Amino acid sequence: MTGIADALVVFGITGDLARRSTLPALYSLSQQGLLTCPVIGVGRRPVSDDELRKHATEAIQAAEDDVDDAALAEFLGRLQYVGGNAEESSMYERLREVLACATLPVFYLATPPSMFDEIAEELAGAGLVGDESRLVVEKPFGTDLASARDLNRRLTAIFPEERLFRIDHFLGKEPVQDIMYLRFANAMFEPIWNREHVASIQITMAEDFGIDDRGGFYDPVGAIRDVVQNHLLQVLALVAMEPPSGDHDAIPRRREDVFRAMPAVDPREAVRGQYVGYRDIEGVQPDSDTETFVSLQLEIENWRWAGVPILIRAGKALPATATEIVIRLQRVPQLQWGGHRLYSPGYDDIVLRIGRQAGISIYVRAKTPGKAVSQPVSLDLDFAEELGEPPQPYERLLSDALRGDPTLFPRWSVVEETWRIVQPLLDEPPPVERYQPGSWGPTSSHAVAAAHGGWREPS
């Protein structure tokens, strides 16, 4: 689908997501000349256009180290506000007046997912959905396989699949996109990126902070729904997919192939944890069974990856904040000649860092001076230091949505497969095990990776 949007309508523009991500991203796009349409903010609060511009200015100044006054003024000039209850038809009548000249509007719902289908139906009822209109929604898309299917049925009845854009902000991260370039633009990687040379794949998403004041949001969700079903499985697809080729649909097709080749997770190969003190947080149920940590093992049953264990863990209140992918290579044979034995402790790992301090480390062996033993040493590349600061995820995603480029947005067939993969953990969840804040989760989670050399702790 092509065509540049001639209006962007942001529902929830006075909310936390818009303040932290949407408004700074739109300012940056405006500064680069990539935002060429008016931006209409929609919210419940009775806010004037000038008050919205003040709110936007404060959000941008908080996010940007150096604000260009001319670019800011140009962006603020695009802002308008329509206030009212999203469930009331009168608000949509006012919105229709503002959009009178728009033929290709994009509606972006930075709202709770419970409002997605209701807003879409109100837009359609007010005659605001044309043949070219697009709808952009945030995660989570459903809370399990059944609810995701129901939500998709409701939304695609109004916005067909090619005009429905589901945001997973991890796919907008530049280091995540770098995974494909590292694999397919370097002759040294692709020949070994398979079951013949790879012993295991690990993905760790660790956060050194807890839930804090977000108990009411997090408790109904948990780590599986929050980051595994979406973020980490999408990252895995980029790590494991075949080389893309063909039209703009090539990358989504290759991601989907990975998920179709994955059996659903076996709950017996998973561990759920909850850090001590979680139940004391405001908004959390006193007897909450919600996991703040999960580790699990997956497989991909295709020619490239059959037999290679894929280990995933994610958790809060851990010792570090980091998101890393570890490609652990097969051990080399231990050689002996005469009275000498080549002892090579440790593992040959390729570590892709896609969180803080994004980059890549390649661990190789070097001889210890004066001894017949090797030791792991790392070759390191820091992306920001070598290549410059990347754009923020919402810059890329909102720009693509405005242009109608669906490449980085998971389509329904992919979302359905990822829910299928994790659904057994939701139907028959392992018991929650308690762990101390600052530890690497429940002790039993170490057994998930023990047979494969153990987890590599982020550096």
- Sign of torsion over alpha carbons 139, 143, 145, 146: negative
When computed from its CA atoms, the radius of gyration of the chain, rounded to whole angstroms, is 24
Contacts of 143 (CB under 8 A, 6+ apart): 220, 221, 225
Query: What is the Cα–Cα distance from 304 to 194, expressed in whole angstroms?
Result: 5
Structure tokens belonging to residue 220: 């109904």
Candidates 25, 354, 313, 34; CA nearest to 177 is 354
Which sequence positions are flagged as catalytic?
231
Query: What is the Cα–Cα distance from 378 to 190, expressed in whole angstroms?
Result: 20
Residue 140, preceding bond cis, omega within 30 degrees? yes
Query: What is the Cα–Cα distance from 201 to 325, expressed in whole angstroms?
Result: 7
The secondary structure of 197-247 as a DSSP string is TEEEEEEEEE-SS--TT-HHHHTTTHHIIIIIIIIIHHHHHHHHPPPP-SS
Contacts of 32 (CB under 8 A, 6+ apart): none
The DSSP letter of residue 388 is: -
Q: Give the residue carrying structure tokens 């919205």.
A: 52
Q: For the chain, first and last CA: distance in Å? A: 42
The residue count of the chain comes to 459
Candidates 322, 389, 312; CA nearest to 354 is 322
The secondary structure of 245-267 as a DSSP string is -SSTTHHHHHHHHHHHTPPPP-G
Beta-bridge partners for 220: none
Query: What is the Cα–Cα distance from 180 to 353, expressed in whole angstroms?
Result: 14
Residue 384 CB neighbour total at 10 angstroms = 13
Candidates 15, 17, 21, 97; CA nearest to 52 is 15
Distances (CA, A) of 329 to 73, 301, 348: 53, 19, 6
Query: What is the Cα–Cα distance from 348 to 366, expressed in whole angstroms?
Result: 11
